[in-house]
């Protein structure tokens, strides 16, 4: 099951919780605050300069993906009709915020930083999430399930591409992948209706655009 509602927001109204969640997303993007769970840590081999650049590029893309996840979940929560669905989306967003912090920390260790287009990733994803939630909660949950399926596959590709000695990034991506798979399963269990093939294709295209931009800017 998804984590219990954040004690600091449990007493607030639905609108207050949404506003607080948007604020958390903005704080996370600016590296303020911290993760609610400790980052998985492992010691690997010393990386060559080429390996360091490759690992940093991959982690920058993953950081951008977690920024987008914040936007998606917040936009979907904004449109959720059922309070239970809204809480599920916000709980998942808090776990994605952990991923965001983990990626930011690992990027710093690799001597790099996040994408310069971070505000764009968040704003555009929030708009997409709101549109997905506009039709129905079932459509929104199905969008979550497909998004997490694609993200899990993307993380698998990055795990294969990481330098063999980069155990520090590897354990972070493995923990993220486990969470993403669970989020997708929970969305289906809650009644998510998977989007049609054309929509899934469009989602992959948007993801590719983001990956391309984040890897370079």
pTM (predicted TM-score): 0.83
Q: For residue 190, what is the DSSP state?
A: T
Ordered by where they begin, the domains of the chain are 50-216 (1.20.1260.10)
Give the pLDDT of the chain (217 residues) as one tens digit per residue.
444 444 444 445 656 656 665 665 566 565 555 778 889 988 878 899 999 999 999 999 999 998 988 888 888 888 888 999 998 898 888 888 899 999 999 999 999 989 888 888 888 888 888 888 888 899 889 989 999 999 999 999 999 999 999 999 999 999 999 999 999 999 999 888 888 888 888 888 888 888 878 877 7
DSSP secondary structure, 89-135, as one string? HHHHHHHHHHHHHHHHHHHHHTT----TTHHHHHHHHHHHHHHHHHH
Other residues' Cβ atoms within 10 Å of the Cβ of residue 83: 10
Per DSSP, the three-state class of 138 is helix
The pLDDT of residue 26 is 65
**How many angstroms separate the CA atoms of 59 and 166, rounded?**
11
**How many angstroms separate the CA atoms of 86 and 67, rounded?**
19
The pLDDT of residue 17 is 58
Other residues' Cβ atoms within 10 Å of the Cβ of residue 202: 12
């Amino acid at each position: 099951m998804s984590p219990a509602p954040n004690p600091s927001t449990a007493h607030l109204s639905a609108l207050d919780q949404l506003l607080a969640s948007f604020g958390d997303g903005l704080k996370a993007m600016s590296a303020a605050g911290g993760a609610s769970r400790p980052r998985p840590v492992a010691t690997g081999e010393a990386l060559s300069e080429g390996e360091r650049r490759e690992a940093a590029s991959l982690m920058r893309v993953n950081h951008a993906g977690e920024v987008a996840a914040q936007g998606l979940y917040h936009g979907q929560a904004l449109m959720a009709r059922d309070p239970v669905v809204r809480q599920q989306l916000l709980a998942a967003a808090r776990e994605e915020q952990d991923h965001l912090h983990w990626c930011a920390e690992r990027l710093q260790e690799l001597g790099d930083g996040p994408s310069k287009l971070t505000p764009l990733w968040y704003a555009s994803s929030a708009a997409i999430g709101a549109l997905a939630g506009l039709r129905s909660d079932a459509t929104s949950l199905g969008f979550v399930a497909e998004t997490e399926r694609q993200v899990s596959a993307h993380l698998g590709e990055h795990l294969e591409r990481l330098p063999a000695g980069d155990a520090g990034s590897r354990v972070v991506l493995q923990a993220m992948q486990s969470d993403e798979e669970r989020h997708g399963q929970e969305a289906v269990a809650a009644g998510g209706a998977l989007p049609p093939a054309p929509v899934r294709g469009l989602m992959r295209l948007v993801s590719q655009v983001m990956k391309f931009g984040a890897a370079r800017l």
